């Protein structure tokens, strides 16, 4: 059996045991996570853990989220093929790729220039044409392309950033971890111009950097 075959089997097991068994049933999400090679987004020394249900370190002290959290946050956005999505915290680009499999366009902002550069090269090599990346302060979002049907924040601010809520389209959703020592995953939905916040579960993300 080749290593490629081993990775394929590991992805199938990951989707079945870690995601589907934990009530993520969206077929598009399951298909995306079975397709995307998570080991491609981490350095070789972490390949053997690439399909385990755990976060892994990437460059500059950041992490790639555990597969279940990636699936959960994606499902909570309730995307469709015409959705426009803003991602804050590109990181290595794995979550970005998952979003790109479900949405029409993904706009992703990464504050660390080294990560932004490497993610751009990685996603280009994977032939994604609907991903738009820039280096910048995630607290400001990407207002030129707003409003967005979905906003996914992959780092934890101490409170919900006001500038990001302004970029949610009517009926749209933002999925965001909030807190410092104790973090909660929240869904913020805009209904009739007002924001409704739902608490989902406890999480543990790297802190959101930059100035609000």
Q: Which residues are catalytic?
A: 65
Tokens at 117, concatenated: 């550069």
Nearest to 42 by CA among 52, 30, 32: 52
* Cα 206 to Cα 125: distance, rounded to the nearest angstrom: 27
Q: Kindly state the DSSP code that residue 14 receives in the 8-state scheme.
A: I
Answer left, alpha or beta for residue 184, where phi above 0 means left and psi between -120 and 50 means alpha. Answer: beta
Give long-range contacts, CB 8 A cutoff, 24+ apart: 4-10: 7/37, 7/39, 7/50, 7/51, 10/50, 10/51
Q: Are β-strands 194-203 and 183-191 bridged in parallel, bridged antiparallel, or unpaired?
A: antiparallel
Q: Are 75 and 85 in contact (CB under 8 A)?
A: no
Helix 94-102, helix 67-77: angle, nearest 10: 40
């Amino acid at each position: 059996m080749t290593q490629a075959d081993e990775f394929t089997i590991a992805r199938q097991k990951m989707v079945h045991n870690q995601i589907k068994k934990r009530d993520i049933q969206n077929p598009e999400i399951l298909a995306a996570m079975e397709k995307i090679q998570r080991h491609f987004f981490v350095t070789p020394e972490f390949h053997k853990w690439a399909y385990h249900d755990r976060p892994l370190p990437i460059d500059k002290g950041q992490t790639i989220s555990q597969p279940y959290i990636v699936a959960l946050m994606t499902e909570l956005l309730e995307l469709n093929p015409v959705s426009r999505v803003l991602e804050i915290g590109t990181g290595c680009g794995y979550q970005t790729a998952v979003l790109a499999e479900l949405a029409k366009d993904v706009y992703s902002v990464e504050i660390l220039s080294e990560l932004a550069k490497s993610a751009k090269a990685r996603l280009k090599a994977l032939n994604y044409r609907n991903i738009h990346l820039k280096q910048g302060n995630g607290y400001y979002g990407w207002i030129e392309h707003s409003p967005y049907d979905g906003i996914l924040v992959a780092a934890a601010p101490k409170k919900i950033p006001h500038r990001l809520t302004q970029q949610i389209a009517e009926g749209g959703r933002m999925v965001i971890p909030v807190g410092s020592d104790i973090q909660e995953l929240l869904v913020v939905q805009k209904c009739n111009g007002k924001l409704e916040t739902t608490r989902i579960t406890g999480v543990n993300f790297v802190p959101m950097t930059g100035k609000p």
